[in-house]
Structure 1
Amino acid sequence: MVHHTMSTKSASASSASSKISSMRRMTRLVAIVGMLAGCASAPPPVEAPSAPVAAAPPAATAEPSVAGAPIVQGKSRWWPVRWSDLPGFEDDVLYEAWNAWLRSCERPPAAFAALCPQVRQLSIAAPSEQRDWMRRNLQPYRIEPLQGPADGLLTAYYEPMLDASRQPTARHTVPLYRPPATLASRKPWYTRQEIDTLPEPREQLRGREIAWLADPLDALVLQIQGSGRLRVAEGDGSQRVVRLSFAGSNDQPYRSVGGWLLQQGAVRDASWPGIKAWLRDNPQRLNELLWSNPRVVFFREEPLPDAELGPRGAQGVPLTAGRSIAVDKDSIPYGTPVWLASTGPTVQLQRLVLAQDTGSAIVGAVRADWFAGAGPEAGELAGRLKQPLRLWALWPR
């Protein structure tokens, strides 16, 4: 799923657990960031890390905890460490992550294919058995960039849940589109402003409407996240929940509307709540705000047979709320189990997650977008999460 990080890109372990438990209850009803069903194209092939390459450790970081040369993987350097170096490893509720791992085993990277039968067998094992198995079969590696500081950035994304109408009404005036037939013939396609103001793109999108929303900012959020859920009022008066998944874009560059406001000095709080507050005070500048991001995303509609499952990520498997992350695939291959540690004002996390998605704003060795789930609570978290991050890859021995 192609998305952008929800934090515009502007609490203890128990509090994180309660947040995720709440999210999971929400996802049972309906399913940051994430921010931020699946991609129309098949995910790219996953390659195992290259053979160990000797390299000196960065001057700013300590020597690795165990002997051995690091692995250079794309934009990152992986240092072998001890399991005791992973903060909180003994305390994680592993069965939540095991569900995400089982999803990854539906399309495993080559390096993990041989382990997947054991992963499946351990799905009902005790946490102590799962931890012992991981220690025997996996080697943890601290992920660092080839250059620069070791700490990175954690943001979050989510699936918005929005009310929509199948037909335009006096209130529902903002269309969500399927890809136009001419999308491949013009690259990049028209910008957001051109779509809104020129007759040519409007004509090419006629008849491609999936549904209509009441709030243009909701449509922008949905496009930034890359997927979402609609509670659709049908023409016959019935209502149902469907998923909209990423089906293409106009290939224009993504620009953060929060960043645009910060550059102008219009806000100090560039979170989504801050952006909405600014817009309430400046409604006449709505189009100016929207047009600052020329990128437009097109969708396809899919049924939602299981509200527990998230959209399909770039790995091609459904995401798991609280246990899936989007990464830079050049630094962490899809399907890799990753230990994540982040402490900040929004949430404190020390947990096992799976690298199952990507996003155009997710670039760098120590960079992750955490899938927070679906609905308004997940959106509130995703809209504010922006804090330091450390990552460890767990790779087969």
Structure 2
Amino acid sequence: MSSMSGRGARAVVAAILGSLAACSSPPLQPPQQPPSREATPAPVARPAPASAEPRAASRWTAVDWQALPGWGGDDLLAAWPALRAGCQRPAPGWAEFCARVALQPPSDAMELTLLLMKHLRPWQLAADDGSTTGLLTGYFEPLLQATRTRQGAFQWPLHALPADPALRRLPRRDIDGHPRFEALALAFVDDPFALLQLQVQGSGRLLVRDASGAERLSRVAWAGHNDQPFQSVARALLDRGEVADATPRTLSDWARRNPAQVRDALAVNPRVVYFREEALPDASIGPRGAQGVPLTPGRSVAVDRSIVPLGTPLWLDSTEPWSPGAAPTPMRRLVMAQDTGSAITGAVRADFFWGWGEEAALRAGRTRQPLRLWALLPQGLTP
């Protein structure tokens, strides 16, 4: 950790801003207020890449480091593991910068700040209509109790991906009780809504109890889905007045009180996610995101990869998750684009990975805040 105080670090950041401006391409002057369509310079439209994957509509505007709210106040060393992981699979144009990252870890936060400011340049992201404010949500890695065989309350299976495409595309209602799916069951859990939440999150941890009573922790990762549309089971129950809210505890309590209605309730959502099981030798390592590297709690985000290439460092300007009775607290930090999600679409859109455990679940459930984003690209690399 850096020995420099936050006030001292910010003072040094302010001092080096001027020196960096002289050795890089001339920066644009930052606006004094949050950028608007009229206040910003003419933006750069992001062209379609050479790959077959089209780029969604977005705008990228080069700005000065001073335009990043709170820059100099983040503990950048906390982002170093995510940055280093992202450089394991660098995006095109990042080889030189990632070689510097691999050469020597920074001794303190100021050294890392200088590295970023010398070799990268910030670009503010905006939607095609010029809007620079989007949405931040959160996700986490749930933990479920499980058994290897169907027994007692453990009646709800997680399935491996079927090899047969026709079998793979069956809707949820046709999968439940299907004889060919019995052999694809990886494990059985005791809470159908916890399983549904696992499918929404895309990965999770299983605490599996065997016949002897011994427990083993493993991870289940996303392996595919059945190509059916997603429908919210919680919304259907809310609309019918079956539950007062959609919290995990409320939904699980409803399932325990209404066991005969659970299958019909779940069938409202025809989409099923399939998993593969992985060993978990180190419980402190996060799941692998779409970039193929482990996610870092509090420093990895899911983005729309048609706009933001995976492996891109991002400066995030939002607020801490909502808490009853509390005033909004700024959340401004360096994060890495290392994952994707079907609901994560648009230029100013991110899903924040909080980690695992009860606190992560609570924070993820409360994360729904306004967001502004800046992408940090190597000098000379244009969007």
Q: TM-score, normalised by structure 2?
A: 0.80
List per-residue Cα deviations over 1:327-372 (Å, max 9, x = no partner): 0001111000001111262564211000000011111111111111
Aligned CA distance change for structure 1 residues 275 and 318 (closer, same or farther; 3 Å): same
Q: Give yes or no for contact 2:312–2:375 (8 Å, CA) kept in 1.
A: yes
Q: Deviation at 1:242?
A: 0.5
Aligned to 2:37: 61
Please say if 1:92 is aligned against 2:74. Answer: yes
Aligned to 2:334: 352
Q: In the aligned structure 1, how far is the partner of 2:266 from the partner of 2:367?
A: 22
Instruction: Output the aligned Cα RMSD.
Output: 2.4
Please say if 1:120 is aligned against 2:102. Answer: yes
List per-residue Cα deviations over 1:56-76 (Å, max 9, x = no partner): xxx953433xx6752425321
Aligned to 1:300: 276
List per-residue Cα deviations over 1:217-255 (Å, max 9, x = no partner): 111111111111111112333211000111121111122
Q: Give yes or no for contact 1:191–1:294 (8 Å, CA) kept in 2.
A: yes
Q: In the aligned structure 1, how far is the partner of 2:228 from the partner of 2:46?
A: 32
Aligned to 2:303: 327
Q: Give yes or no for contact 1:180–1:204 (8 Å, CA) kept in 2.
A: no
Q: In the aligned structure 1, how far is the partner of 2:158 from the partner of 2:295?
A: 23
Q: Give yes or no for contact 2:312–2:336 (8 Å, CA) kept in 1.
A: yes
Consecutive unaligned residues of structure 2, counting only runs of 5 or more, are: 1-5, 7-34, 48-54, 324-328
Consecutive unaligned residues of structure 1, counting only runs of 5 or more, are: 1-13, 15-58
Equivalent of 2:140 in 158, 173, 196: 158
Q: Give yes or no for contact 1:167–1:235 (8 Å, CA) kept in 2.
A: no
Equivalent of 2:347 in 351, 360, 365: 365
Look up the SS of the partner of 2:115 in the other structure.
Answer: helix
Aligned to 1:190: 170
Q: In the aligned structure 1, how far is the partner of 2:117 from the partner of 2:258?
A: 56
Q: In the aligned structure 2, how far is the partner of 1:154 from the partner of 1:289?
A: 29
Look up the SS of the partner of 1:124 in the other structure.
Answer: coil
Q: Give yes or no for contact 1:230–1:241 (8 Å, CA) kept in 2.
A: yes
Q: Point out the more displaced range, 348-357 or 140-149.
A: 140-149
Please say if 1:72 is aligned against 2:72. Answer: no
Larger Rg belongs to: 2
Q: TM-score, normalised by structure 1?
A: 0.77
Q: In the aligned structure 2, how far is the partner of 1:94 from the partner of 1:107?
A: 21
Look up the SS of the partner of 1:383 in the other structure.
Answer: helix
List per-residue Cα deviations over 1:69-93 (Å, max 9, x = no partner): 5242532101111111111211111
Q: Deviation at 1:274?
A: 5.4
Q: In the aligned structure 1, how far is the partner of 2:253 from the partner of 2:287?
A: 29
Q: Deviation at 1:196?
A: 2.3
Aligned CA distance change for structure 1 residues 313 and 255 (closer, same or farther; 3 Å): same
Alignment of 1:1-397 (within 5 A): 61-64=37-40, 69-72=43-46, 74=55, 75-147=57-129, 149-182=131-164, 184-185=165-166, 189-196=169-176, 202-261=178-237, 263-264=239-240, 269-273=245-249, 275-276=251-252, 285-343=261-319, 345-346=322-323, 348-397=330-379
Q: In the aligned structure 1, how far is the partner of 2:301 from the partner of 2:276?
A: 23
Aligned length: 332
Q: In the aligned structure 2, how far is the partner of 1:389 from the partner of 1:122?
A: 33
Q: In the aligned structure 1, how far is the partner of 2:124 from the partner of 2:159?
A: 42
4+ aligned runs moved over 3 Å, structure 1: 258-285
Look up the SS of the partner of 1:168 in the other structure.
Answer: coil
